[in-house]
Structure 1
Amino acid sequence: MRTTLDPHLIDPSANEPGLVVELRDARRALLFDLGEIDRLAPRVLLRASHAFVTHTHMDHFAGFDHWLMLAMGRVPRLVVWGGPRFVDQLDHKLRAYTWNVVHRYEVPLRIEAHSLEADGSRRHAVFDSRHGFGRSEETADPPHGSDVLVDEALFRVRACIVDHEMPVLAFAIEEKAQLRVAADRVRAMGLGTGPWLANLKAAVLANAPDDTPIELAWRDRDGEHVARRPVGELRALVLDAVAGRRIGYVTDLRFTEPNAEQLSRLLSDVDLLYIEARFLDVERDQAARKNHLTARQAGEWARRLRARRVVPFHFSPRYRGGEDELRAEVFAAWGGAPHASAITSP
């Protein structure tokens, strides 16, 4: 079944970190890490509503400036999540620039920054172009049991903190249940398919009241059509729900049992696991010094998580041209069959 989330590595060679998850039919995207995001087409970056940053090493965060530069004057809102003290770090980055003209932009930009702190609390702040990206609307939430950062009708994003000799976030991207539409019933009602079906699915998943109106618009050989029907009348068009996919994004962490336990709580039975494989296992001492995983260790954790598909990435530059050896070591330890997307990004 065609799914809502379309993930692929930002760097097709899989050497640099970063994942983009496009939301099919929604003209939206989510970014995981902000490294060399200039590899992405501007149209994709302008659709990115949220970014989730594992940590603020340059190769994971330096691309924020490129995203911001594209967004200014074009989009009204960006949401950014990071680990401990991330709100402060984003504040410092914004203060490094002079903002004497941004308040004049026809489309003001509101940056909503959030940090998951080490004790499980969250901090929030807003940086608004109308006020020179000065910090405002600061709030904080006390520690609580939930690991959910964002929860929307189509997806949720969860996170945990792992150790890289500094706190790093690992992420789970979870697609909500998918609904199939009976195309023959759509035709029988004299309607045509279009973006309105996504609105209907969202209303059904949210258990919207039967009198909730749905705006219908579609085009066929007879021209353009516009109508309005209540959810109760359209509900019969929707068939069974199918469980959505779960995607993991894991990079920059030590091979330790506490890290493995954190990932097990977040990502057990994950459908698609993106996991770093920085070094070959013969260099595990070097990996330990650098606080990274070897390819074999990545595969062992993928097996422990019972991952259904695995895509290794974030290879050390010393393996340029020899990435297939790293992939082979991951797959041998995982014990699964490599998917084509693990060799050429999905």
Structure 2
Amino acid sequence: MLQAEIKSLFKEDISILIKVPNSAKHYLCDCGEASLLTVKEVQSVSALFISHTHIDHFSNFDGIFRHQIGSGEKVVICGPKNIHRQIEARLKSYTWNLIDENAIEYEIREIVSEQEIKVYKIRPPHWNLELIKTQDFLFEDEYLNVSFAILDHKTDSIAYLFKEKDSVSFNENGSRFKKGKWISELKAAFERSENDKEIEIEGAVYQASELFHLLTLNEGCRLGVIMDHAADEGNYEKIKTVFENADRVYIETFYKDEDREFAKTNHHSYASASGSIMKACGVKEAIPVHFSRRYTEIDRLEIETAFYRAFGKD
């Protein structure tokens, strides 16, 4: 199951690290100030997902690439419209005369619309952008795929859903056969829906579908991160479309209910609004995050109480 850790302390800017069990790969959502994020974790980040580039979500980008330079790896950066220009500007603001062109490669995926993702490549020392292609999906690797919703925060704010890939397990106790390579062949046939594929076991030949009862499909975890957004129906419809029945969602809960007018003015959400949309989505577990710095620990408890009451988990 996907694991997520909030790497920012209370009154620090938001940053959430997502880990895949038994994998060295990490994924980072937003890069605000985050004192709990270690150098080792940064160096394990293979993809960075930026909701939007307000300073509290983007200020630590320099600290991220500071610890990635020299790795020789390709790191993917996903974000809203113009993210490629903003990354370019940050990188070009430094002098790189001692850095080799193979020190790192960033692949920037600009979310233009739900159907259009522009993919750019940028490398040292000159950091000149190169448009590679346009595609209709955001991100997929061997462990997960990522979908998204473009929310309104008076600028595009991207909410991300990380879907762990399904796995197939073998019921050893339910089988009368000895273990062998036939198990991996059976799993492959199941995943490809090759019902008629012939599987040889101990000298006998079976159709794969005859053996599918020995397998169990384990659905992957669906973990969401929803950052800054206006508390309105337009955003809620988009959230429902992507995050319905998610296993766990971290959602921006910037204001107390009594400050909902500030939320309206600043295109943010507030406690009961965030809790209510998570309930409407049927999310199994919801966690309020990203509170205004104006608040104390007591205020935070008040926000969390109102959130969970609206979510139905008080």
Whether TM exceeds 0.5 here: the answer is yes
Change (3 A) 1:208 1:307: closer
Once the two structures are TM-superposed, the CA of residue 133 in structure 1 deviates from its matched residue by: 2.3
Query: Which residue does 2:100 correspond to in 1?
Result: 103
The letter for the 2-side match of 1:292 is H
Does residue 254 of structure 2 align to residue 278 of structure 1? Answer: yes
Task: Indicate the SS of the match to 2:301.
Answer: helix
Correspondences of 1:162-241 after superposition (within 5 Å): 162-180=151-169, 207=192, 239-241=215-217
**229, 242, 247: which one pairs with 1:266?**
242
Q: Distance in 2 between matches of 1:74 and 1:100?
A: 17
Change (3 A) 1:11 1:119: closer
Once the two structures are TM-superposed, the CA of residue 249 in structure 1 deviates from its matched residue by: 0.7
Task: Indicate the SS of the match to 2:47.
Answer: strand
Change (3 A) 1:305 1:179: same
Task: Indicate the SS of the match to 2:297.
Answer: coil
Change (3 A) 1:321 1:49: same
Does residue 116 of structure 2 align to residue 133 of structure 1? Answer: no
Once the two structures are TM-superposed, the CA of residue 179 in structure 1 deviates from its matched residue by: 3.2
Task: Indicate the SS of the match to 2:67.
Answer: helix
> CA contact under 8 A between 2:8 and 2:35: conserved in structure 1?
no
The letter for the 1-side match of 2:25 is R
- 1:140-192 CA distance string (max 9 Å, x none): 427x5xxx41123321101111100111101111111133366889xx869xx
Change (3 A) 1:308 1:132: same
Change (3 A) 1:166 1:22: same
Query: Which residue does 2:226 correspond to in 1?
Result: 250
Query: Which residue does 2:277 correspond to in 1?
Result: 301
The letter for the 2-side match of 1:298 is S
Once the two structures are TM-superposed, the CA of residue 331 in structure 1 deviates from its matched residue by: 0.4
The letter for the 1-side match of 2:121 is V
> So what's the TM-score if we normalise by structure 1?
0.76
Which of 287-296 and 173-182 deviates more? 173-182
Query: Which residue does 1:160 correspond to in 2?
Result: 149
Once the two structures are TM-superposed, the CA of residue 320 in structure 1 deviates from its matched residue by: 2.5
Q: Distance in 1 between matches of 2:37 and 2:12?
A: 15
Aligned residues: 295
Q: Distance in 1 between matches of 2:53 and 2:96?
A: 23
Alignment RMSD? 3.1
Query: Which residue does 2:204 correspond to in 1?
Result: none
Q: Distance in 2 between matches of 1:68 and 1:208?
A: 42
> So what's the TM-score if we normalise by structure 2?
0.84
Does residue 94 of structure 2 align to residue 70 of structure 1? Answer: no
**42, 47, 54: which one pairs with 2:39?**
42
Task: Indicate the SS of the match to 2:96.
Answer: coil
- Give 5+ residue unaligned stretches, structure 1: 191-198, 211-231, 338-346
Q: Distance in 1 between matches of 2:237 and 2:290?
A: 22
Once the two structures are TM-superposed, the CA of residue 239 in structure 1 deviates from its matched residue by: 4.1
Query: Which residue does 2:309 correspond to in 1?
Result: 332
> CA contact under 8 A between 1:15 and 1:315: conserved in structure 2?
no
Change (3 A) 1:92 1:26: same
> CA contact under 8 A between 1:153 and 1:206: conserved in structure 2?
no
Change (3 A) 1:33 1:201: farther
**303, 318, 324: which one pairs with 2:294?**
318
